[in-house]
């Protein structure tokens, strides 16, 4: 699952895999429906760096819209093709080198261009004398197979269709300026190695299993091969690994809110509580709880790379753990104490009052102020119950419809507080339940059933495994509970043939980013990340040597390259 993305759909409360750190009052905020994307990890909205766009000009390939003409799921069928965008860098390529593909996942492929220049694609291409590629996903960026995004048109947006796109690309692409070199997985002999992070990490794992004769190897970084409808575990990593004073204070404030609204069901105190936060005119209580949850979700947006990381989680925690008053709302101190007492924290009211005032100040500065500047009502900015806006199905609404559609149909990942175990204090309100989190599915797409996660989990879920399939995950990643490194998943050994790496202290696909040599410091990138990237280069080179040896035994002459030493 990007820090300042054009998708800026915040409240994720995510609705995709890429966590977006900046709220945009011009966008609707989603409830806890699967992760704003990149999640998460996005080096920026499609780069404005003219040099990158010039250096890596966009390419297009025609790919069938419908790879499964006999499956009634896709009726009415079509035999038409559509343009899928891709970019490549041949500056490191030498004869015998592999094709290194980065699957762009559920975002604009142009967002990934920096990885050709200084990220994982550049690292692996340089290490192996390979050709680096960024491949855009159908229905994202500008790779649209349909003229609009109606629910009927979105029927071709499925996991299996997207997998087939990647396979078709590998078998048919001809790289501009290299027409005399057959680098396809169909006719050529170049090893194809595919990398993906988050949702794309799941995609590449599935590709290795479903199309093993096309993709010689795959690296799933923070991949989520286990689709989970009720994904309350999204908040477990921040609960366990986040600053404990911040987590404890968050839990107390959430419990206070739930005591007043759910357990006491006191309408007068509920009105006072919402007014205290400047949200008195927000109609629905679950929308109110959703707004309060923003701060904790910034955890996913933390990255070791300062170019894409957010400080908002630090600001949030700094605010709610500060015992001195940080905002000019001291006149509400007695009200803060009264609300704390009503919510069951009367004995701690004196100690927590300033923290609660600071929490209200943070909510205003982080979210409400932008809404006020837009001249929209609170319901228009933060409400989820009247989603007519989401029914706009033009291509311009891709960011607001495509990943949500995938969530509603196949992937799930509804991030809720209601199903957190009763003996555990949640970090988001129990008002945020499956009914609330799935509002968009019903209102925008007419989908009333839970996501059909079996369509994803048939590829292996937690147990997915294959030779030359690597899993590289972050220890503190919000998406780790959906990965093979989830607590409770079976333990595995880390080998060169089946790498299984958990990066200590790392978040969401931290290995994907890179820095220029002159930017490297003793702590940038962190040693754990640098070590993981070195391991990736090592096992990919071993994989490629195995392919070359296999091809040589078949009587085909290969030229070994310096990068494979």
Give the pLDDT confidence score for residue 49 in this predicted structure. Answer: 53
Q: Examine residue 122 and state whether it is found in any structural domain, yes or no.
A: no
The per-residue DSSP string of 14-47 comes to: -SSSS------TTSPPP-SBS---------SSS-
Cα Rg of the chain (Å, integer)? 24
What are φ and ψ of residue 313, in 5° steps?
-65, -40
> For residue 193, what pLDDT is reported?
99
3-state helix, strand, coil in the chain (%, to 5): 45, 10, 45
DSSP lists the bridge partners of residue 63 as 82
**Cα separation, 406 vs 389, whole angstroms:** 19
Strands 131-135 and 81-89, how do they pair? antiparallel
Residue 39 contacts residue 199 (beta carbons within 8 Å): yes
Q: Is 71 among the domain residues?
A: no
CB 392 within 8 A of CB 296: no
Tell me phi and psi for residue 19, to 5 degrees.
Answer: -70, 125
Instruction: Compute the distance between CA of residue 103 and CA of residue 199 in angstroms, rounded to an integer.
Output: 10
The pLDDT of residue 181 is 94
Is residue 350 domain-resident? yes
Bridge partners of residue 175, in order along the sequence: none
With respect to residue 330, please indicate whether it lies within any of the assigned structural domains: yes
Q: Which residues carry out catalysis? A: 198, 477
User: What is the distance between the alpha carbons of residues 348 and 248, in angstroms, rounded to a whole number?
Assistant: 13
Report the alpha-carbon distance of residue 264 to residue 288 in Å, rounded: 17
Helical pair 333-342 and 267-276, crossing angle rounded to 10 deg: 140
How far, in Å, CA of 551 to CA of 529, rounded? 33
Q: How far is 341 from 348, CA to CA, in rounded Å?
A: 8
User: Which residues lie across from 474 on neighbouring strands?
Assistant: 503
CA atoms of 63 and 106, how far apart (whole Å): 18
Report if residue 123 sits inside a domain: no
DSSP 118: T
DSSP annotation of 11? B
Helix (H, G, I), strand (E, B), or coil: what is residue 63?
A: strand
Position 550 scores a pLDDT of 63
Q: Tell me, what's the pLDDT at 37?
A: 29
**Count of structural domains within the chain:** 1
The angle at the Cα of 379, spanning 378 to 383, to the nearest 5 degrees, equals 120
Residue 216 domain-assigned? no
Long-range contacts of 545-551 (CB under 8 A, 24+ apart): 546/468, 547/98, 547/191, 547/216, 548/96, 548/191, 551/189
Whether 319 maps to a domain, the answer reads yes
Q: Compute the distance between CA of residue 236 and CA of residue 476 in angstroms, rounded to an integer.
A: 9
HEC readout, 458-497: CCCHHHCCCCCEEEEEECCCCCHHHCCCCCCCCCCCCCCC
Do residues 284 and 385 lie in contact, with contact meaning Cβ atoms separated by under 8 Å? Answer: yes
- Quick check: bond before 357 cis, omega within 30? no
- DSSP label of 436: H
Contacts of 307 (CB under 8 A, 6+ apart): 43, 44
Surface-to-core class of residue 49, CB atoms within 10 Å of its CB (0-12 exposed, 13-18 middle, 19+ buried): middle
Range of the domain at 310: 229-445
205 occurs within a structural domain? no
Best CA proximity match to 334, nearest among 415, 276, 288: 276
* Spatial distance between the Cα atoms of 223 and 201, rounded to a whole number of angstroms: 4
Q: CA 23, CA 295: separation in Å to the nearest integer?
A: 12
**Per-residue pLDDT tens listing for the chain (565 residues):** 432 222 223 333 333 333 322 222 232 344 444 333 233 333 333 444 558 989 999 999 999 999 999 999 999 999 999 999 999 999 999 999 999 999 999 999 999 999 999 999 999 999 999 999 999 999 999 999 999 999 999 999 999 999 999 999 999 999 999 999 999 998 778 999 999 999 999 999 999 999 999 999 999 999 999 999 999 999 999 999 999 999 999 999 999 999 999 999 999 999 999 999 999 999 999 999 999 999 999 999 999 998 899 999 999 999 999 999 999 999 999 999 999 999 999 999 999 999 999 999 999 999 999 999 998 999 999 999 986 777 789 999 999 999 999 999 999 999 999 999 999 999 999 999 999 999 999 999 999 999 999 999 999 999 999 999 999 999 999 999 999 999 999 999 999 999 999 999 999 999 999 998 888 888 899 999 999 999 999 999 999 998 876 654 343 333 333 333 3
pLDDT for 20: 27
User: Parallel, antiparallel, or unpaired for β 99-103 and 81-89?
Assistant: unpaired
Please state whether the peptide bond connecting residue 60 to the residue before it is cis, i.e. omega within 30 degrees of 0.
no
**How does strand 59-64 pair with strand 81-89?**
antiparallel
Tell how far CA 116 is from the center of its chain.
20
């Amino acid at each position: 699952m990007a820090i300042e993305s054009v998708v800026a759909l915040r409240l994720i409360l995510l609705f995709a895999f890429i966590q977006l750190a900046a709220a945009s009052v011009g966008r609707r905020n989603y409830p806890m429906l699967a992760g704003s994307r990149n999640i998460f990890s996005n080096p920026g909205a499609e780069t404005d760096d003219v040099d990158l766009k010039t250096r890596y000009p966009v390419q297009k390939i025609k790919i069938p819209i419908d790879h499964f003409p006999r499956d009634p799921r896709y009726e009415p069928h079509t035999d038409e093709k559509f343009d899928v965008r891709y970019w490549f860098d041949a500056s490191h390529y030498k004869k015998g080198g592999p094709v290194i593909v980065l699957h762009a996942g559920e975002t604009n492929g142009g967002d990934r261009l920096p990885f050709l220049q200084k990220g994982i694609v550049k690292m692996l291409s340089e290490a192996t004398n390979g050709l680096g590629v960024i491949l855009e996903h159908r229905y994202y960026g500008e790779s649209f197979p349909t003229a609009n995004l109606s629910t009927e048109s979105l029927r071709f947006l499925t996991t299996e269709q997207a997998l087939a796109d990647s396979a078709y690309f590998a078998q048919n692409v001809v790289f501009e300026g290299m027409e005399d070199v057959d680098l396809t997985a169909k006719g050529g002999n170049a090893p194809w190695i595919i990398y993906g992070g988050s949702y794309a990490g799941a995609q590449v794992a599935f590709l290795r299993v479903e199309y093993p004769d096309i993709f010689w190897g795959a690296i799933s970084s923070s991949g989520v091969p286990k689709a989970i409808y009720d994904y309350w575990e999204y908040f477990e990593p921040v609960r366990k690994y986040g600053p404990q004073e911040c987590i404890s204070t968050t839990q107390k404030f959430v419990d206070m809110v739930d005591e007043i609204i759910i357990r006491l069901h006191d309408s007068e105190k509920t009105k006072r509580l919402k007014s205290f936060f400047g949200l008195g005119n927000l109609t629905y209580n679950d929308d109110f709880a959703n707004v309060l949850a923003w701060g904790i979700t910034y955890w996913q947006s933390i990255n070791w790379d300062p170019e894409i990381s957010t400080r908002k989680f630090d600001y949030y925690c700094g605010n709610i753990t500060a015992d001195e008053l940080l905002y000019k709302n001291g006149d509400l101190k007695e009200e803060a104490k009264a609300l704390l007492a009503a919510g069951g924290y009367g004995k701690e009211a004196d100690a927590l009052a300033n923290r609660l005032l600071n929490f209200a100040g943070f909510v205003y500065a982080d979210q409400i102020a932008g809404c006020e500047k837009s001249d929209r009502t609170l319901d228009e900015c933060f409400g989820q119950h009247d989603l007519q806006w989401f029914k706009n199905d033009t291509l311009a609404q891709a960011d607001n419809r495509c990943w949500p559609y995938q969530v509603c149909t196949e992937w799930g990942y509804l991030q809720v507080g209601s199903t957190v175990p009763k003996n555990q204090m949640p970090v988001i309100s129990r008002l945020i339940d499956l009914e609330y989190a799935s509002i968009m599915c019903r209102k925008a797409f007419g989908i009333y059933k839970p996501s059909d996660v079996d369509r994803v989990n048939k590829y292996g879920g937690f147990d997915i495994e294959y030779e030359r399939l690597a899993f590289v995950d972050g220890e503190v990643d919000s998406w780790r509970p959906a990965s093979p490194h989830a607590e409770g998943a079976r333990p595995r050994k880390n080998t060169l043939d089946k790498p299984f790496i958990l990066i200590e202290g790392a978040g969401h696909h931290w290995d994907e980013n890179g820095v220029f040599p002159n930017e490297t410091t003793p702590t940038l990138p962190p040693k754990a990340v640098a070590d993981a990237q070195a391991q990736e280069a090592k096992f990919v080179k071993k994989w490629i040597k195995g392919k070359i040896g296999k091809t040589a035994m078949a009587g085909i002459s290969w030229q070994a390259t310096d990068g494979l030493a």
